[in-house]
Structure 1
C-alpha cells in the first residue's frame, strides 16, 4: 500500500546547505575508495563493501523505528532504476580512481550538470535555449582540456569517468523524480539494497582484506559516509530541483583537489585548473540562466492568475 511522504517544498537555501554538507561527507567516501584502490583491493569488492555497509547501517538504525515503511515505495520501478544507475555510477567512478587522480575523476564527473541540462528536454520536457546549449558546448571543451585526447597525457580511463558522469546525470534526474514520491530513507534503502543484491554473485570471487590499520578504517567508513551523504542529498532534492542544486556541488572539486594533493601527492596541474574553471563557469552560467528564467516566470504568473 502506498504511504504518505513529505511533499516537495521550495526552500532553496536549505537545500543548498544540505548539498554542501553532503559533499563534505562524500569527500570521505571518495578518499577511502581511492585509498583502497591504491592498496590493490578489487573494484567489485570496494563497491560491494561501500553499499553493504550502507545497507547494514540503514537497517540497523532505521528498521526498528520505521518498520515496513522503510521499504514501502510508491514507485518501485523508479527506485530500482535509480539504484541501478547509482551502482553503475559508483562502479565506474571507483574503477577510474584506480588509474586517475581524484582531481581528474571529479572534474569529469562535474560535466553531469551540463548533461542534466542537455537531457532535460527529452527526459523532463523542458525547453533548453541556444544560450544554454552554448554553455554546454563550452563546458565540454573544458573537459577536453582536462582529458587531452590525442596527447601523451591522455588516459583511456578518462572515458570511464565520462560514463560515470552520464549515469550520475541519470541518477540526479531520477532523484528529483522521486522527490515527494518516496521519503529519503526509503530512497536510501533501495540505493543500498539494489547494488548489494546485484553485486552479491560477483563480490567474493577475488576477495582481499586490507593490510594496513588505516585501510581498515577506510574499509568500514565508506558505507557510513555514503549513507549520510546520499541521505542529505536526497533530502535536499525535496527542497529544490536538480538543475538548481548541481552547480553548488562544485565546491567539492576544491576539497578533492586539496585531498588529492595532501593524501595522494597528486596536485592539480595548470591545464586541469583551466579546464575545471571552464566547466565550473559553464555550469554556473546554466544555473544563472535558469534562475533568471524562473524569476521572469514568477513575475508573469501572478498577473495571469488575476
Structure 2
C-alpha cells in the first residue's frame, strides 16, 4: 500500500504542475502511452503474458475503460480547480457507489451496512460541498462524477476478473484509453514541454502504472479491511502537501465529511468480513 500512497499522492501535484502547459487530455496521454509501452515490452519479453491477451468480453473491457477514462479526466481536471483535500475526500465516496451498484446491477443483497455506507457517504458529501451556501464549489460535482464513474469501472472489473488476468485488464485499459486521450490532444504536444516539466512527466508516467499494479496486489495479498484504511491515509498526506506547497486551508468541514464517508466504508467492510 505504500506504493499506492506514494503514486496517487505524487500524481496530484504533478498533474497540477503540467496543467499550466498541457491540457488534461495531453497529461493523461502521457500516462496511458507510458503504460502501453511498458506493458507491450513485457508482453514481447514473456510469451506467457501474450497468451493472456484474449479478446473475450471486449465489450465489457470497453465499457470499463470508457467509465475509467471519464472518471480519470474528471478527477484530474478537479485537481486543477479544487484543494487537494477536497478532491481526495470526495473520491472516497467511490466504495459507497460500488456498494449501491453491486445491489442494483449485480443483484447482490442489500444489507444494513450497505445502506449505512450510502447514507453516511451522502451526509459526508453534504458536509464537504455545502450546497446552497456561499462556500459551495461547483467543481466538486466533477469529483462526484469521477467517483460514480470509478465505481462503475470497479463493477466491470469485478465481472472481468473471473475470466481476465490483471495484466490483460491493464493492457486493454491503456490500448483503449490512449486513443481517447489523443483525440482531445495536440498530437505534437511534446513540443510544449520544457526542461522544468521533465520531473512531473516522469512521475505521471510511472505512477499511472504503479498505482494500479500496487493497488491490485494489495487487494490480492492483503485483506480489504486492512487495505482500505491504509488507503485513507492519502487524505492527511495530500492535505499537508496542499497546505505546505500551495497554501491551501485545512478545512475542518472537509475532514468531518471525510470522517463520515470513511466510517461508512469501514462499517461495510467489517460487515462483509464477518459474513465470509
Give the TM-score of the pair, scaled to structure 1: 0.80
- Matches of residues 274-293 of structure 1 in structure 2 within 5 Å? 274-293=256-275
1:34, CA displacement in angstroms?
2.2
Give me the whole-angstrom Cα distance separating, in 2, the residues matched to 1:250 and 1:219.
26
Secondary structure of the structure 1 residue equivalent to 2:192: coil
Compare 184-193 and 62-71 and name the one that shifted more. 62-71
2:53 alignment partner in structure 1: 71
**2:210 is equivalent to residue 210 of structure 1:** no
Compare 101-110 and 48-57 and name the one that shifted more. 48-57
Give me the whole-angstrom Cα distance separating, in 1, the residues matched to 2:61 and 2:224.
17
1:223 alignment partner in structure 2: 205
Which among 181, 188, 191 is matched to residue 199 of structure 1?
181
Coordinate RMSD, CA, aligned: 2.5
Secondary structure of the structure 1 residue equivalent to 2:173: helix
- Are the counterparts in 1 of residues 11 and 204 from structure 2 also a CA contact under 8 Å? yes
- Provide runs of 4+ in structure 1 moved above 6 Å: 240-244
**2:5 is equivalent to residue 43 of structure 1:** no
- Matches of residues 8-27 of structure 1 in structure 2 within 5 Å? 19=1, 21-27=3-9
Which among 92, 112, 134 is matched to residue 116 of structure 2?
134
**2:38 is equivalent to residue 53 of structure 1:** no
2:250 alignment partner in structure 1: 268
CA deviation profile, 1:281-301 (whole Å, cap 9, x unmatched): 11111111222222xxxxxxx
Give the TM-score of the pair, scaled to structure 2: 0.88
- The change in CA–CA distance for 1:237 and 1:63 in structure 2 (over 3 A counts) is farther
- Matches of residues 164-183 of structure 1 in structure 2 within 5 Å? 164-183=146-165
Q: 5+ unaligned residues in a row in structure 2: which ranges?
A: none
Give me the whole-angstrom Cα distance separating, in 2, the residues matched to 1:249 and 1:172.
16
Give me the whole-angstrom Cα distance separating, in 2, the residues matched to 1:169 and 1:240.
21
Q: 5+ unaligned residues in a row in structure 1: which ranges?
A: 1-18, 295-306
- Are the counterparts in 2 of residues 27 and 255 from structure 1 also a CA contact under 8 Å? yes
Secondary structure of the structure 2 residue equivalent to 1:124: coil
Equivalences, count = 274
1:74, CA displacement in angstroms?
3.7
- Are the counterparts in 1 of residues 84 and 239 from structure 2 also a CA contact under 8 Å? yes
Max radius of gyration: which structure? 1
1:273, CA displacement in angstroms?
1.4
- The change in CA–CA distance for 1:244 and 1:69 in structure 2 (over 3 A counts) is farther
Give me the whole-angstrom Cα distance separating, in 2, the residues matched to 1:234 and 1:74.
21
1:178, CA displacement in angstroms?
2.3
- Are the counterparts in 2 of residues 100 and 157 from structure 1 also a CA contact under 8 Å? yes
CA deviation profile, 1:58-89 (whole Å, cap 9, x unmatched): 22344322463363244322222222221111
Compare 240-249 and 66-75 and name the one that shifted more. 240-249
- Are the counterparts in 2 of residues 144 and 275 from structure 1 also a CA contact under 8 Å? yes
- The change in CA–CA distance for 1:20 and 1:118 in structure 2 (over 3 A counts) is farther
